[in-house]
């Protein structure tokens, strides 16, 4: 968690400051906010919401960004939240993106913050769980927003915070996710010059940062198998 959280800063600063070394005060701020980020993450973990249904999660994000004085837009691609932080100095626009949805998975553990949420998904009773780590992504980006909003004087350009719904795919028959956000103009006004996404990964050793330009961890594809199907000749 801690290492992952810190991971975003070198990437971001390397871009913004053209390879100057990261500011030590930002690193100290990241250490200072860690407990709060863990608290957010546990709260979001306990209250997961499925794709295109992330209304309460979005409210928490929006309230936090607004408390920081960040200009926000809500209801983007249904439940998405976008925040814009203008730095004091001119420069390019960098977007930082976190996905916010949970999965139709029943949580089986005894953690104090375990999810007890139940729902009906595609006709079946199921639990709802942040089983893919998006709770951490939300908390991390909320923390990053707080730190960067306190350092506007050091930002060359603009930071766009993108909290994206429905990364796991919208429910059947609905639009959603990154595609709908882009369709609704999330990469425009101001136009995004570069974007960073982050995903935690339990297969990567703690303390290791893995990164890749371009696409990675692309969405799942779905197919339907029908019984009694025969080709027409
Ligand atoms: Zn995921």
Lowest pLDDT segment from 80-94, 123-137, 150-164, 209-223: 209-223
Cα of 33 vs centre of ligand 1, distance in Å, is 23
Residue 215 maps to a domain: no
Over residues 121-131, mean pLDDT: 95
Catalytic residue at 31?
Answer: no
Residue 10 maps to a domain: yes
Beta strand pairing call for 89-99 and 80-86: unpaired
CATH number of the domain enclosing 156: 3.40.630.10
Q: What is the pTM of this model?
A: 0.87
Using the predicted structure, report yes or no on whether residue 9 has a pLDDT greater than 60: no
The neighbour count for residue 11, using CB atoms within 10 Å, is: 17
Cα of 198 vs centre of ligand 1, distance in Å, is 9
Cα of 42 vs centre of ligand 1, distance in Å, is 17
Residues 119, 129: Cα–Cα separation, whole Å: 11
Helix axes 55-67, 24-46, angle to 10 degrees: 150
CA nearest 159: which of 168, 148, 173, 175? 148
- Of 49, 54, 101, 146, catalytic: 101
Residue 73 maps to a domain: yes
Lowest pLDDT segment from 53-62, 136-145, 199-208: 199-208
Using the predicted structure, report yes or no on whether residue 56 has a pLDDT greater than 60: yes
| pLDDT tens track for 107-122 | 999 999 999 999 999 8
Phi first, then psi, for residue 20 (nearest 5°) are: -70, 155
Residue 120, domain extent: 2-197
Residue 225 maps to a domain: no
What pLDDT does 95 receive?
A: 98
Residues 116/78/187/132 CA torsion (nearest 10 deg): 20
pLDDT tier, 20 (very low <50, low <70, confident <90, very high otherwise): low
Residue 175 maps to a domain: yes
Strands (E) in 100-139, as ranges, are 118-121, 124-127
What pLDDT does 219 receive?
A: 64
Residue 229 maps to a domain: no
Catalytic residue at 184?
Answer: no
- Of 135, 146, 167, 168, catalytic: 167
Residue 129 maps to a domain: yes
Over residues 51-78, mean pLDDT: 98
What pLDDT does 229 receive?
A: 65
Cα of 137 vs centre of ligand 1, distance in Å, is 9
What pLDDT does 228 receive?
A: 75
How far lies 120's CA from each of 30, 53, 124, 171, 221, in Å?
39, 13, 5, 12, 22
Give the largest Cα separation in the chain, rounded.
71
Residue 208 maps to a domain: no
Mean pLDDT for all residues in the chain: 89
**The total number of structural domains that make up the chain:** 1
Strand partners, 97: 162, 197
Using the predicted structure, report yes or no on whether residue 232 has a pLDDT greater than 70: no
Which tokens is 186 given?
Answer: 């999330």
């Amino acid at each position: 968690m801690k290492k992952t959280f810190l991971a975003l800063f070198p990437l971001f600063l390397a871009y913004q400051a053209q390879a100057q070394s990261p500011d030590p005060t930002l690193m100290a701020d990241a250490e200072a906010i860690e407990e709060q980020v863990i608290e957010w993450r546990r709260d979001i973990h306990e209250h997961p919401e499925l794709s295109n249904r992330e209304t309460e999660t979005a409210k928490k994000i929006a309230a936090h960004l607004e408390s920081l004085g960040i200009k926000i837009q809500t209801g983007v691609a249904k439940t998405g939240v976008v925040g814009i932080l203008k730095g004091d100095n001119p420069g390019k626009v960098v977007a930082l993106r976190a996905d916010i949805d949970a999965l139709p998975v029943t949580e089986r553990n005894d953690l104090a913050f375990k999810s007890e949420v139940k729902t009906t998904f595609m006709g079946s009773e199921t639990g709802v769980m942040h089983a893919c780590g998006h709770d951490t992504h939300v908390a991390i980006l909320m923390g990053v927003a707080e730190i960067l909003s306190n350092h506007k004087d050091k930002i060359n350009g603009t930071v766009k915070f993108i909290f994206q719904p429905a990364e796991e795919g919208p429910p059947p028959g609905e639009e959603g996710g990154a595609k709908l956000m882009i369709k609704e103009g999330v990469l425009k006004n101001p136009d995004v010059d570069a974007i960073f996404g982050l995903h935690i990964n339990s297969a990567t050793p703690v303390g290791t940062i893995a990164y890749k330009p371009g696409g990675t961890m692309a969405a799942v594809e779905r197919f339907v198998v029908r019984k009694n199907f025969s080709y027409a000749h």
